[in-house]
Structure 1
């Protein structure tokens, strides 16, 4: 039984889709339970995964609302008693809390939870972060296995007292991109000039992603390289920050909104940029690498496990001038772009494919089955 708060477009939904499609159906019967996608979000299932059957749980959305959460908890209890799963695997914080509590209450034999991002830095206020950490410490005691998208995320969680080191398995994301178009075709599709350097940004336009820092980097780069163009692909509650910059910078910055064909954005780019204050293991950088685009990114969370500094991209602290300096280094050296882009493609394709994610997850489930005596080999 797989539970996720909502299947909005983003990394967790992509991971869940890969598992729902990829796990051996002869060995694993899966059911997916999910809540409502927000009005300001795009539904991944409707857009990219209509083949995946999901069971809707009222109240199991993004926001914490006591009455709705109680309703979701009651639904999960009822479904667990009817389905009687061997394993409950939860994804994301709210679904992780309600799902694991329901699994304990119904005596589900085994519980697995995935930490898709970094709970402890940047996403919540200091007070709320303390409450979440305290709840996660309690919930971790019930888990047979805790999965983290990166080693740094695991280490930070263990240091905060959330689970024991021996409970964790590092489970990097697994994803894929469509076949990218040629550069000229990609730029034409996005309304970008056929010539000149292009810097891309792909991601949610929310506080932790720091679109304001992205704009500051763009201003610094454009001061040195007025021929450069920035293309921003994404939506979110800070969309107006980028809209204002688009108006200010004119044709130097293009906002294309959300696009399912991110490979087109990367195919048009010379370098991709990530300006976040915190990250788990960003799929945007993995996808860029798979298209052969090097990255400039902040050195936060498990970003360094995606971008090998000096080999597949360049990492920086969170200061905009350092990020801009790295971008300019790439724009001034096309050979460096090509070399690191090729290395990024080889690295990401090998390490972050869907087949690897599915195989690693099957290994975790099989180890649990053997330990519980459900499977002898």
Structure 2
């Protein structure tokens, strides 16, 4: 395709903080076919207590900074971002406006409608805010706003079929609007276990459990600490690595208390594969998830996981084959963790199965291919992409 006939895509995300959405955006931006797509990234600013994905990855990606766009809701800033986006759309004239995260999804879709450019509108739900975020009143406002925004959307993309189904149950959008595109991940070279543990200051001959993710309420780091306490009572020599930062970081530091020597709080690391390589088990304790990249990465590193059965977690973790799923009860999570730490043969088999499964289902090349086909379908250059769920 000639450059002047490329499909112009304006991708908008509120901020490129460390996490699944930023990882997906960067992977796509770096690998989309530049001869066919003119893909431009528009984003706001990362808060002080959050990790900046672009800085952590030393990415040289050119971004268009949107004044006023960020995590917090501030009417003045939000209006400034809205009108800035409208002007940018009228200048760039994108064929497709592709939004991610709730705030960018609202501002981007409204801007696309007001701009008069006639762009196709795609919004990605990396999860949703139906559970674990809001009071009932605020949840009702969120649902009503997303229903309205869905009426302004040509496609609604979810990272898992369970996320899609929960949104539909809430009356957000119609089934024909939805496309399921699971995440795509490329993990760096996984170091040898002994080297990884030496790098993190961990003993070589003890069980290790890792937590990788934001230290924020919905991720329930308090539940992780409760599980860790129960595991230590049964396996006193067990150590725990916490890789991440967030507004609950100080609470976590205080929470380790008397067992501080059993914990390594390493913050965000560029070489997250080192954390997975050092771990015998990766533990996820969230109240709500989309399709968590940390569990995909753990699988690619050959680490079995124990996780709460929320969101589309069961589409990543094959319960009993690549890890163990649980209710949100700390006792059950601890029992599953102890089981894997105590049965090294079972943990090894699950880790090997996890490596095979995640490499097959969640490769970044598949993500790029699916997204390119979605863009083509919206511009009439290919048959519409229809995915009923994650590949099995």
What is the alpha-carbon distance in structure 1 between the residues aligned to residue 261 and residue 67 of structure 2?
44
Q: Deviation string for 1:163-204 (max 9, x for gaps)?
A: 001100011111111111111111111111011111111111
- Which 4+ stretches in 1 moved above 4 angstroms? none
Residue range with higher mean Cα deviation, 198-207 or 116-125: 116-125
Are the equivalent residues in 2 in contact too, given 1:233–1:255 (CA < 8 A)?
yes
Are the equivalent residues in 1 in contact too, given 2:218–2:288 (CA < 8 A)?
yes
181 and 233 in structure 1: CA distance in 2 versus 1, 3 angstrom threshold:
same
SS of match in other structure, 1:357: helix
Question: What corresponds to 1:151 in structure 2?
Answer: 161
19 and 165 in structure 1: CA distance in 2 versus 1, 3 angstrom threshold:
same
2:79 is equivalent to residue 70 of structure 1:
yes
Q: 1:87 aligns with which of 96, 103, 107?
A: 96
Question: What corresponds to 1:354 in structure 2?
Answer: 364
> What's the offset of the Cα at 1:372?
10
Are the equivalent residues in 1 in contact too, given 2:340–2:347 (CA < 8 A)?
yes
Are the equivalent residues in 1 in contact too, given 2:56–2:269 (CA < 8 A)?
no
What is the alpha-carbon distance in structure 1 between the residues aligned to residue 64 and residue 83 of structure 2?
14
Are the equivalent residues in 2 in contact too, given 1:246–1:255 (CA < 8 A)?
no
What is the alpha-carbon distance in structure 2 between the residues aligned to residue 370 and residue 126 of structure 1?
41
Give RMSD over aligned pairs. Answer: 1.3
What is the alpha-carbon distance in structure 1 between the residues aligned to residue 221 and residue 42 of structure 2?
32
What number of residue pairs does the alignment pair up?
Answer: 373
> What's the offset of the Cα at 1:48?
1.2
Question: What corresponds to 2:320 in structure 1?
Answer: 310
Are the equivalent residues in 1 in contact too, given 2:376–2:382 (CA < 8 A)?
no
> What's the offset of the Cα at 1:124?
2.5
> What's the offset of the Cα at 1:371?
7.3
2:22 is equivalent to residue 30 of structure 1:
no
Q: 1:197 aligns with which of 179, 182, 207?
A: 207
TM normalised by structure 1 equals: 0.97
324 and 73 in structure 1: CA distance in 2 versus 1, 3 angstrom threshold:
same
Matches within 5 A, 1:33-112: 33-107=42-116, 108-112=118-122
Q: For structure 1, which runs of at least 5 residues remain unmatched after alignment? A: none
What is the alpha-carbon distance in structure 1 between the residues aligned to residue 148 and residue 202 of structure 2?
51
What is the alpha-carbon distance in structure 2 between the residues aligned to residue 279 and residue 113 of structure 1?
17
Q: For structure 2, which runs of at least 5 residues remain unmatched after alignment? A: 1-9, 384-392
Question: What corresponds to 1:258 in structure 2?
Answer: 268
Q: 2:175 aligns with which of 156, 165, 169?
A: 165
Q: Deviation string for 1:239-286 (max 9, x for gaps)?
A: 123212334203222211111211000100111000001111111101
Are the equivalent residues in 1 in contact too, given 2:51–2:245 (CA < 8 A)?
no
What is the alpha-carbon distance in structure 2 between the residues aligned to residue 244 and residue 68 of structure 1?
35
What is the alpha-carbon distance in structure 1 between the residues aligned to residue 382 and residue 276 of structure 2?
45
2:149 is equivalent to residue 127 of structure 1:
no
Question: What corresponds to 1:118 in structure 2?
Answer: 128
Are the equivalent residues in 1 in contact too, given 2:66–2:84 (CA < 8 A)?
yes
Are the equivalent residues in 2 in contact too, given 1:209–1:275 (CA < 8 A)?
yes
Question: What corresponds to 1:174 in structure 2?
Answer: 184
